Amino acid sequence: MIEIVPAIDIIEGRCVRLTQGDYAQRKEYGDPFEMAQQFEDHGITRLHLVDLDGARERRVVNYGILEQIASRTSLVIDAGGGVRSDEDLRIVFESGASMVTGGSIAVKDRALFLRWLKHYGPDRIVLGADFRAGKVSVSGWHEGTSLDLMEFVADYRTEGVEKVICTDIERDGMLEGPSLETYKALKAADNKLFLIASGGISKMEDIELLDEEGIDGVIIGKAIYEGKIALKTLESYIINNS
C-alpha cells in the first residue's frame, strides 16, 4: 500500500502552504504542532516537515518546532529545508528527525551529501529531487539547473540512495493532479526505487491512481488544508488497505 505522508511547511513558526513554491503566495493554517497531532489522531504515522525559512536562509531555522513534534508525537518525521552543513544535519537529527531530505545540498555539494549517505545510511538520508519542466530546481525552488531529473535520480541511485522525494514544482499547491507520467517513468527505469510523489494531489482518486501504479509514497499538503481530502477519509483508506 502507498504510504500517506502529510506535509507541514513552516514559515515564522506557522504552518503554511505556498503555490508553486512562491513565498509571496502563502496561506497560513495555524499551529504546526496542533496540525501534527491531528494527523496522528487519524492514524497517520509519517510526516514531511519542511523548514521554509531554513530553505530561504540556507541554514536550519525552525528546529524547535521539529523537536516539539518529535518529542510529543510518535510520528516518523523526515525533515528538510536549510540543511547545508554537518552542523545543520546534527541539529535536525538531535531535534528528532528520523530522516533528512537533501535536495540543494545534493546538487551544490555532492561530496558532502555522499558522505552523509555513507555515514548515516540510505534509510536516514533521502534525496530531494524537485523539478520544473524535467529539470532539477534547488534553493527553495528559486534556482533552476540544467540537470535532467531522470539522470539526476539515476546517478544518485548508483551511489546508494534508496528513497527519493520527487516534487513537480509547477503542480505544487495547484490541486490539479500529480505528475503521474513522470513518476511512472522513474519507476519503469528503476522499479526498486522507493519513490515518494509530491505536488498536485487534489482528491483521493489521485492517491489511488498513484497506488495502482506502484508509487511507494505520496506527500499531501494543500488538499488536506483546504478540505479537499478529509483526514477521516485518509484514516479509512489506511485502515482498509492495511
Q: What is the pLDDT of residues 210-237, one digit of tens each?
A: 999 999 999 999 999 999 999 999 999 9
pTM over 0.75: yes
From the list 51, 53, 78, 130, the catalytic residue is: 130
CATH number for 3-241: choose from 3.90.1170.20, 3.20.20.70, 3.40.50.300, 3.40.50.1400.
3.20.20.70
- Nearest Cα neighbor of 178 from 140, 204, 153 is 204
User: What whole-number distance in Å separates Cα of residue 50 and Cα of residue 32?
Assistant: 11
Q: What is the pLDDT of residues 49-78, one digit of tens each?
A: 999 999 889 999 999 999 999 999 999 999
Q: What is the pLDDT of residues 39-49, one digit of tens each?
A: 999 999 999 99
User: What whole-number distance in Å separates Cα of residue 44 and Cα of residue 40?
Assistant: 5
From the list 9, 51, 168, 216, the catalytic residue is: 9
Residue 86 known to be catalytic: no
Q: Where are the domains of the chain?
A: 3-241
Helix (H) or strand (E) holding 25: strand 22-28
Residue 109 known to be catalytic: no
Q: What is the pLDDT of residues 85-121, one digit of tens each?
A: 999 999 999 999 999 999 999 999 999 999 999 999 9
